[in-house]
């Protein structure tokens, strides 16, 4: 046997199932922003793949979140719970991590997806208090929930997967009908997540913890309903090579991939899911 044959397997398909590497059987995961359109979709995808999942979102959404968690659990037969948490609060995040660990025994996967954008998120108009709140949730909260989940993975002596949610707006400037560019602080926080992801990936690689981010483009997750009029929808679609919005299901598949062993040699990368927007 050659030296490299002990290190690297070839023709694995002869012995193993490639599709099985996309499964999450026995894994324990949490998803912040779990009551939102994208969060719910990711939770359902993870549960279908065999993971126990905690939907993490604000206390104000608890009744709704618990009903979604029950629906997912009933459908896929995995343990699915709702954990209230303000991702802008360090104490809340610590308590959430403790609850998830107590309920599931450990944490294998963290999806740090909570975030929001102000409708008046403009360079010349955004008040400082709004800047600070958006940074505390979108960037600092993402950092803390990723870091605390990684601490659990280290303490429990196993690796894991961390997937952070960035955005197309971390790479491009948003404009609508040639008005003043929007998504100012939102874009800054989402760009910061990409760099943070790379640094975490480098720091935690020795612990077998992979850290990646996903940057959704225009995805119809429910937040656009009642906000984007038909002409605005068309205007946005015209800027995408695929000429449409993406679906939450299309995004959830990307999260499942990066959370699973199918992506076992991928860390420190950002996956664009934008319909080709940035090719222009």
Q: Which residues are catalytic?
A: 167, 186, 190
Nearest to 33, CA basis, from 93, 106, 73: 93
- d(Cα 81, Cα 189) in Å, to the nearest integer? 28
Nearest to 81, CA basis, from 117, 43, 110: 43
Specify the 3-state DSSP secondary structure of 203. Answer: helix
- What's the N-to-C CA distance of the chain in angstroms? 50
- d(Cα 263, Cα 251) in Å, to the nearest integer? 15
Nearest to 191, CA basis, from 163, 218, 167, 217: 167
Q: Residues 124-156, buried b or exposed e (16+ Cβ, 10 A)?
A: eebeeeebeebbbbbbbbbbbbbbbbbebbbee
CB neighbours of residue 188 within 10 Å: 17
* Cβ–Cβ < 8 Å for 273, 255: no
What's the burial of 4, exposed, middle or buried (CB within 10 Å: 0-12/13-18/19+)? exposed
Residues in CB range of 177: below 8 A, 6 or more apart = 232, 235
């Amino acid at each position: 046997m050659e030296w490299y044959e002990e290190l690297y397997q070839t023709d694995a398909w002869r012995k193993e199932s490639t599709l099985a590497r996309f499964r999450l059987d026995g894994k324990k995961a949490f998803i912040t922003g779990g009551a939102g359109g994208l969060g719910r979709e990711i939770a359902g995808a993870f549960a279908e793949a065999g993971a126990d999942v905690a939907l993490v979102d604000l206390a104000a959404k608890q009744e709704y979140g618990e009903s979604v968690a029950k629906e997912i659990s009933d459908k896929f037969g995995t343990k699915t719970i709702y954990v209230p948490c303000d991702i802008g609060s360090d104490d809340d995040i610590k308590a959430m991590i403790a609850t998830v660990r107590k309920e599931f025994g450990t944490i294998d996967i963290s999806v740090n997806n909570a975030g929001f954008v102000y409708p008046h998120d403009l360079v010349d108009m955004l008040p400082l208090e709004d800047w600070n709140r958006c940074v505390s949730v979108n960037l600092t909260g993402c950092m803390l929930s990723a870091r605390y989940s990684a601490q659990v993975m280290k303490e429990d002596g196993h690796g894991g997967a961390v997937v952070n949610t960035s955005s197309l707006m971390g790479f491009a400037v948003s404009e609508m009908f040639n008005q003043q560019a929007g998504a100012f602080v939102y874009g800054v926080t989402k760009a910061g997540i990409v760099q943070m992801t790379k640094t975490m990936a480098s720091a935690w690689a020795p612990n077998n913890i992979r850290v990646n981010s996903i940057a959704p483009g225009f995805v119809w997750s429910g937040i656009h309903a009642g906000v984007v009029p038909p002409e605005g929808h068309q205007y946005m679609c015209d800027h995408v090579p695929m000429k449409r919005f993406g679906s939450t299901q299309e995004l959830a598949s990307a999260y499942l991939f990066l959370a699973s062993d199918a992506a076992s040699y991928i860390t420190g990368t950002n996956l664009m899911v934008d319909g080709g927007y940035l090719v222009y």
